[in-house]
Amino acid sequence: MRPPKTGPADGRKSDSLTMADLAKVAGVSAITVSRALRDSPLVNPETRARIAEIARQYGYAFNVSARNLRLRRSMTVAVVVEMKPTLERQMSGPYPLDLLGGITQELTSSGYSVLLTSLQGGALSHVQAADGVILLGQGAHEDAMHEVQGWGRPMVVWGAVSRHESHVVVGSDNRRGGALAAERFLALGRSRPVFLGDPAHAEFAERLEGFAGTLSKYGITPFTPMVSSFTVTAGAEAVHALLAQHPQIDALFAASDLLAIGAIRALIEHGRRVPDDVSVIGYDDTPLGATYVPPLSSVHQNFIDAGVLLARKIRTLIEGQPATSETLPTHLVLRAT
Amino acid sequence: MRPPKTGPADGRKSDSLTMADLAKVAGVSAITVSRALRDSPLVNPETRARIAEIARQYGYAFNVSARNLRLRRSMTVAVVVEMKPTLERQMSGPYPLDLLGGITQELTSSGYSVLLTSLQGGALSHVQAADGVILLGQGAHEDAMHEVQGWGRPMVVWGAVSRHESHVVVGSDNRRGGALAAERFLALGRSRPVFLGDPAHAEFAERLEGFAGTLSKYGITPFTPMVSSFTVTAGAEAVHALLAQHPQIDALFAASDLLAIGAIRALIEHGRRVPDDVSVIGYDDTPLGATYVPPLSSVHQNFIDAGVLLARKIRTLIEGQPATSETLPTHLVLRAT
DNA sequence: ATGAAAGCGCTAACAA
DNA sequence: TTGTTAGCGCTTTCAT
């Protein structure tokens, strides 16, 4: 038995006003309210306006759960992010936020909700409810990828495009990014370049491929010292070790700005001048790099656009249409290094 | 009429298996499945285990919408973030991500979903469906605050605690942060300090209060030049202008690391040595500041803890219990400046 | 252009 | 410990 409904006039705050209630007030049926509120062309414009006004006036709040149950979809996209409080994470800096911004903007404006999850705890049940899943940073989520794919749910991944043919990946053009750095070094006449970054990360591997591939046309093979993590200190340590063996290096391309900054620090400690003795290019074009002294040259990617694209892809997939992997343009921002 | 259900045995992928289906397989009723899946003590442990196993085996996916409709709550918390692609935003850098990380971690592990919205477009309807709302960065959301409060929905705000008594605010101890900077300068014997930051921002105003309050005990009044935005250039320009009038300054406390870095740049351009001639302290303890040359001293706040606290508060509120505003500890990280 | 009927999948309330 | 009944608020048929 439904409790007696009270209008706003009697002062009691009725916290759940339904379409049926509005219908009663408007003197129509619930389905007409439903249609009116969705701007259906089936309903008389006047009726529609009147109902809209009543809804507004009564503070009606649409019940998303009811619609979702009826429609058998959640109108929700889960975004899985790596948010462990670690300095070693790749998804640090403002980029994930830009990515999230792009995703959210595009998705909310097309009627979807964005569900943020980290997959740390037992968050899987939340993700299961979503109509689609966006994975940010495939590196950390290889297992999550398979899990999600096992559910047969639409999925889009942000990461290295080349690696996995089995699902839709959006990523920036890491190969081109690497090639751009190589071209720059060649133009400067540098002949002993270094690549700094762990190729175990798919995206880094692509950057190295583009870098080494372009250099190889000129018979140059870059040094590729071991780097275990993404931190400033890791970059510095790698360069320290490298200089001991190969003091003659004259150019350095790092897979992230953080590594590049660490490298510059180490270079300077060893008496090398940047960029006079050693040219340095970073990756991601972070504010950190841009405000560093000297301001760091870096390969730029537009994360907001990337987010929008990810969102479009997942929507396409959810709507049952095919989507393909895509690569985003990249360009080199030249600064002091 | 329900379409005939097909088990996984016949090969056809049944995309919506219900509790009733599981019940049929297990030879029990739907409600028993419901209880079993929720680990209700009412159900026989053996039955429960058997049902759990069947659910797993059949790849059952719980229907959140149905539960939410029935329970008349969404088990969802909306997080409203400012994500405009602007350099002037305060919510830049990795902090919002840490904040989001803390929130997500705490909320998902207690059964809630985190809905990310930016309030750019007509995202309000999404937010309305949430059981509670967390506002990140009150500055940009004064209007959103009132809107949400108008709905009578639980709300928690991240920002300056002192300003608004009408709702629950979690923020770091900005006054103490300012006081710490002042104490440091006093200990160094500095007597002509500057505060850099637009006090129109509530949090900045608190930092200034703490700073100026502590200094006033020693009869010192800081310079407070106009600063319009949060960027490096804004910091540099403000200091340029200030030095023209007051060349004798010997300490500078900036409301953000970005401003501090701009300030340092300007100081050096004017021939001042940092920290020999002018001591500088920033705010937020960003990697940007930490890796700067010279490494920037800064007031640190723990954003992950803050996120967790925000999440706890909103949960408390949703559960109908009272919650109070709270202030998080802050400490000064001394580096080279 | 509007309405009536039915049911999406789940769980509280009340039996048994 | 388990089951029956009923209904959360919405929207897709299928009428009118």
Task: Please give the pLDDT value at position A201.
Answer: 83
* Rounded mean pLDDT, A14-27: 86
CATH number of the CATH domain containing B46: 1.10.260.40
Number of domains comprising chain B: 3
At CA B161, angle to CA B158 and CA B167, rounded to 5? Answer: 75
Neighbours of A54 (CB within 10 A): 17
Give which of B76, B104, B125, B303 to mutate to test A binding, by max A Cβ within 10 Å. B104
* Rounded mean pLDDT, A316-322: 91
User: CA separation (Å) from A132 to A126, A144, A194, A247?
Assistant: 12, 13, 40, 51
Q: What is the pLDDT of residues B268-288, one digit of tens each?
A: 999 999 899 999 999 989 887
Closest Cα in chain A, distance from residue B244 (Å) = 24
Share of chain B above pLDDT 90, in %: 60
Quick one: CA torsion of A246, A250, A255, A261, rounded to 10 degrees?
Answer: 100
* Rounded mean pLDDT, A199-213: 92
What are the helix (H) ranges across B224-302?
A: 232-245, 257-269, 287-290
Q: Protein contacts on strand D: list nucleotides below 7 Å from a Cβ.
A: 1-5, 7-13
- Assess if residue A141 is contained within a domain: yes
Mean pLDDT value across chain B: 86
Question: Which string of DSSP letters, residue by residue, matches A186-233?
Answer: HHTT--SEEEES-TTSHHHHHHHHHHHHHHHTTT---B-----SSSHH
Q: Which residues of chain A have a CB within 8 Å of the CB of B74?
A: 64-65
Task: Label residue B92 by pLDDT band (50, 70, 90).
Answer: low
Closest CA to A301 of A280, A287, A284: A284
Q: For residues B108 and B97, what is the distance between their CA atoms, to the nearest angstrom?
A: 16
Contact state of B64 with A74 under an 8 Å Cβ cutoff: yes
Contact state of B104 with A93 under an 8 Å Cβ cutoff: no
Say if residue A234's pLDDT is above 80. Answer: yes
**A103 Cβ within 7 A of any nucleic strand C atom:** no
Give which of B82, B97, B99 to mutate to test A binding, by max A Cβ within 10 Å. B97
Residues A204 and A251 in one domain: yes
Q: Which is higher by pLDDT, B15 or A91?
A: B15
The pairing of strands A297-300 and A331-333 is antiparallel
Residues B82 and B43 in one domain: no
CATH number of the CATH domain containing B252: 3.40.50.2300
Residues B33 and B135 in one domain: no
Residue where one domain finishes, among candidates B62, B85, B102: B62
* Rounded mean pLDDT, A83-91: 47
Q: What is the pLDDT of residues B17-45, one digit of tens each?
A: 999 999 999 999 999 999 999 999 999 99
Give the closest residue to C1 (Cα–C1′). Answer: A43
Task: Label residue A318 by pLDDT band (50, 70, 90).
Answer: very high
The amino acid sitting at B283 is Y
Give which of B288, B302, B303, B305 to mutate to test A binding, by max A Cβ within 10 Å. B288
Task: Please give the pLDDT value at position B60.
Answer: 92
Task: Please give the pLDDT value at position B166.
Answer: 79
- Assess if residue B71 is contained within a domain: no
Neighbours of B31 (CB within 10 A): 14
Say if residue B201's pLDDT is above 80. Answer: yes
Q: For residues B7 and B54, what is the distance between their CA atoms, to the nearest angstrom?
A: 11
Residues A89 and A138 in one domain: yes
Residues A110 and A212 in one domain: no
Task: Please give the pLDDT value at position A129.
Answer: 85
Q: The tokens 């006004």 sit on which residue?
A: A53
**Residues A214, A281 contacting (CB under 8 angstroms):** no
Contact state of A94 with B93 under an 8 Å Cβ cutoff: yes
Neighbours of B324 (CB within 10 A): 10
Q: Which residues of chain B have a CB within 8 Å of the CB of A92?
A: 94, 97, 287
Span CA (B45) to C1' (C16), Å: 21
**Residue A20: nearest nucleotide (C-alpha to C1'):** D9
Say if residue B163's pLDDT is above 90. Answer: no
* Rounded mean pLDDT, A258-268: 92
**B63 Cβ within 7 A of any nucleic strand C atom:** yes
Q: Which residues of chain B have a CB within 8 Å of the CB of A151?
A: 59, 61
* Rounded mean pLDDT, A96-103: 85
At CA A231, angle to CA A229 and CA A237, rounded to 5? Answer: 80
Residues B192 and B289 in one domain: yes
- Assess if residue B310 is contained within a domain: yes
Q: How many residues does chain B have?
A: 337
Task: Label residue A88 by pLDDT band (50, 70, 90).
Answer: very low
Say if residue A333's pLDDT is above 90. Answer: yes
A13 in reach of chain B (CB within 8 A):
yes
Residues B183 and B278 in one domain: yes
Contact state of A128 with B61 under an 8 Å Cβ cutoff: yes
Q: For residues B163 and A254, what is the distance between their CA atoms, to the nearest angstrom?
A: 45
Contact state of A16 with B108 under an 8 Å Cβ cutoff: no
* Rounded mean pLDDT, A306-316: 95
Task: Label residue B94 by pLDDT band (50, 70, 90).
Answer: low
Find the closest chain B residue to A153 by CA distance. B15
Span CA (A43) to C1' (D16), Å: 15
- Assess if residue A96 is contained within a domain: yes
Contact state of B118 with A128 under an 8 Å Cβ cutoff: no
Q: Protein contacts on strand C: list nucleotides below 7 Å from a Cβ.
A: 1-13
**Residues B296, B280 contacting (CB under 8 angstroms):** yes
Residues A166 and A226 in one domain: no
Q: For residues B225 and B246, what is the distance between their CA atoms, to the nearest angstrom?
A: 10
- Assess if residue B277 is contained within a domain: yes
Task: Label residue A229 by pLDDT band (50, 70, 90).
Answer: confident
A216 in reach of chain B (CB within 8 A):
no
Residues B166 and B191 in one domain: no
Share of chain A above pLDDT 70, in %: 87
Residues A192 and A283 in one domain: yes
Say if residue A123's pLDDT is above 70. Answer: no
Closest Cα in chain B, distance from residue A118 (Å) = 7
Q: For residues B294 and B95, what is the distance between their CA atoms, to the nearest angstrom?
A: 22
Of A79-93, A138-152, B126-140, the one with minimum mean pLDDT is: A79-93
Q: For residue B277, give the 3-state DSSP assignment.
A: coil
Give which of A18, A58, A104 to mutate to test B binding, by max B Cβ within 10 Å. A104
Question: Which string of DSSP letters, residue by residue, matches A111-180?
Answer: T-EEEEE-SSSSTHHHHHTSSEEEEE-SGGGHHHHHHHHHTT--EEEES-TTT-SSSEEEEE-HHHHHHH
The domain of B119 spans: 76-173+303-329
Closest CA to A82 of B206, B97, B125: B97
Say if residue A205's pLDDT is above 80. Answer: yes
- CB burial of residue B37 (10 Å; 0-12, 13-18, 19+): middle
Say if residue A120's pLDDT is above 60. Answer: yes
Mean pLDDT value across chain A: 86
The amino acid sitting at A113 is S
**Residue B29: nearest nucleotide (C-alpha to C1'):** D3
* Rounded mean pLDDT, A40-63: 92
* Rounded mean pLDDT, B145-152: 79
The per-residue b/e assignment along B139-176, b for 16 or more CB within 10 angstroms, e otherwise, is bbbeebbebbeebebbbbbbbbbbebeebbbbbbbbbb
* Rounded mean pLDDT, B112-126: 76
* Rounded mean pLDDT, A281-285: 93
Residue where one domain finishes, among candidates B6, B37, B62: B62
- Assess if residue B70 is contained within a domain: no
Residues A168 and A308 in one domain: yes
End-to-end CA distance of chain B: 74
Residues A215 and A244 in one domain: yes
Task: Label residue A323 by pLDDT band (50, 70, 90).
Answer: very high
A109 in reach of chain B (CB within 8 A):
yes
Of A318-322, B61-65, B93-97, the one with minimum mean pLDDT is: B93-97
- Assess if residue B248 is contained within a domain: yes
**Residues B184, B306 contacting (CB under 8 angstroms):** no
Q: For residues B259 and B229, what is the distance between their CA atoms, to the nearest angstrom?
A: 9
Span CA (B74) to C1' (D9), Å: 13
Share of chain B above pLDDT 70, in %: 87
The pairing of strands B155-158 and A155-158 is unpaired
Span CA (A278) to C1' (D11), Å: 67
Q: What is the pLDDT of residues A159-170, one digit of tens each?
A: 888 666 678 999
Phi first, then psi: what are they for A121, rounded to 5°? -85, -150
Q: What is the pLDDT of residues B180-196, one digit of tens each?
A: 999 999 999 999 999 99
Phi first, then psi: what are they for A151, rounded to 5°? -75, -10
- Assess if residue B97 is contained within a domain: yes
Q: Which two tokens stand for residue B37?
A: 């899946």
